[in-house]
Amino acid sequence: MKSKMIFGFHAVTSRIRHEASTVEEIYVDSGRSDRRMQELIHAAKSAGVRVIPTDDQRLSNIVGTRRHQGVVAKAGELSLARNLDELLDAIEGPPLLLVLDGITDPHNLGACLRVADGVGAHAVIAPKDRAVGLNATAAKVASGAAETVPYITVTNLARTLRELKERDIMLVGTTDDVDKNIYDVNFKGGVAIIMGSEGEGMRRLTRETCDVLVQIPMFGSVESLNVSVASGVCLYEARRQRLVRE
């Protein structure tokens, strides 16, 4: 089983809570003895996970950053669905998906996963190429959502989008150069909300594959929102509509 390093209290605690069997060992800063650290160590030992005290510098060397909060875990791959067909076949009710077309900043990816978890989205889908992977930084920013939301990478995004359409999942692309806005769309059926890259937006083929293009109306002086904020706005509008009783 392939192992990777995850770090930060939220990411490590969430992994222990949801998939403790995948955690091989945890390295903790021996200089920290606060309540938060004690609770994490207790949770790890209760789950049968080996805890190894070490120093702050070694932790930084292991993950390549000082933003580890004093805790790093060596863990195997998650058992979340990684195959799109497997995922869609298991969904009850209309799917709610977030598609990220070319997100390259791991902080943005982590924040999008956190939003997706909060709204109850079924998965986040992204291309394998020209996009950031689910690395340790993204997992930390996700604050545990990387352990609960399937992150499915695909070789050919355009083909995947066509497959979603064949399953009667509406593709809603976001852009700022159209008149229709997110409040003009019925999100109650199966839907995949597509966000473009931080600078260029959706690629041409992605845009052409969408069923509808919408904008988020802006009422202030800024022209656009961060991709994770925009994802939250769109996903929660979809969730709001689904909660409204007829």
Residue that wins the pLDDT comparison between 14 and 126: 126
Half-sphere exposure of residue 114: CA atoms within 13 angstroms, side-chain side? 20
Give the pLDDT confidence score for residue 119 in this predicted structure: 96
| Domain limits for position 61 | 3-76
Give the pLDDT confidence score for residue 93 in this predicted structure: 87
Q: Is the confidence at residue 27, as pLDDT, over 60?
A: yes
Are 195 and 229 spatial neighbours (Cβ–Cβ below 8 Å)? no
Mean pLDDT of the 181-206 span:
93
Pair (235, 154) in one structural domain: yes
Pair (91, 125) in one structural domain: yes
Pair (89, 208) in one structural domain: yes
Who contacts 80 (Cβ-Cβ below 8 Å, separation ≥6)?
Answer: 147, 148, 149, 150, 151
Number of domains in the chain: 2
The tens digit of pLDDT for each residue in 57-102 reads 999 999 888 889 999 999 887 655 557 887 888 788 899 999 999 8
Q: Which of 54, 76, 98 delimits the end of a domain? A: 76
Q: Which of 60, 76, 92 delimits the end of a domain? A: 76
Pair (95, 47) in one structural domain: no
Are 140 and 8 spatial neighbours (Cβ–Cβ below 8 Å)? yes
Pair (70, 98) in one structural domain: no
- Considering only CA atoms, which of 6, 2, 1, 3 is closest in space to residue 146? 6
The tens digit of pLDDT for each residue in 127-163 reads 988 888 888 889 889 988 888 899 999 999 999 999 9
The tens digit of pLDDT for each residue in 212-241 reads 999 999 999 888 899 999 999 999 999 999
3-state SS of 195-228 is EEECCCECCHHHHHHCCEEEECCCCCCCCCCCHH
Strand 50-54, strand 23-29: pairing: parallel
pTM value? Answer: 0.73
Pair (135, 226) in one structural domain: yes
The tens digit of pLDDT for each residue in 35-46 reads 999 999 999 999
Pair (58, 113) in one structural domain: no
Pair (168, 58) in one structural domain: no
Q: Is the confidence at residue 246, as pLDDT, over 70?
A: no
Give the pLDDT confidence score for residue 235 in this predicted structure: 97
Pair (64, 111) in one structural domain: no
- Considering only CA atoms, which of 22, 55, 227 is closest in space to residue 141? 227
Specify the residue for token string 């409040």: 183
Pair (164, 144) in one structural domain: yes
- Considering only CA atoms, which of 97, 86, 83, 78 is closest in space to residue 17? 78
CATH code for position 165: 3.40.1280.10
Pair (61, 115) in one structural domain: no
Pair (72, 100) in one structural domain: no
Give the pLDDT confidence score for residue 173 in this predicted structure: 97
Give the pLDDT confidence score for residue 179 in this predicted structure: 93
Are 169 and 87 spatial neighbours (Cβ–Cβ below 8 Å)? no
Q: Which of 76, 103, 133 delimits the end of a domain? A: 76
Give the pLDDT confidence score for residue 43 in this predicted structure: 93
CATH code for position 41: 3.30.1330.30
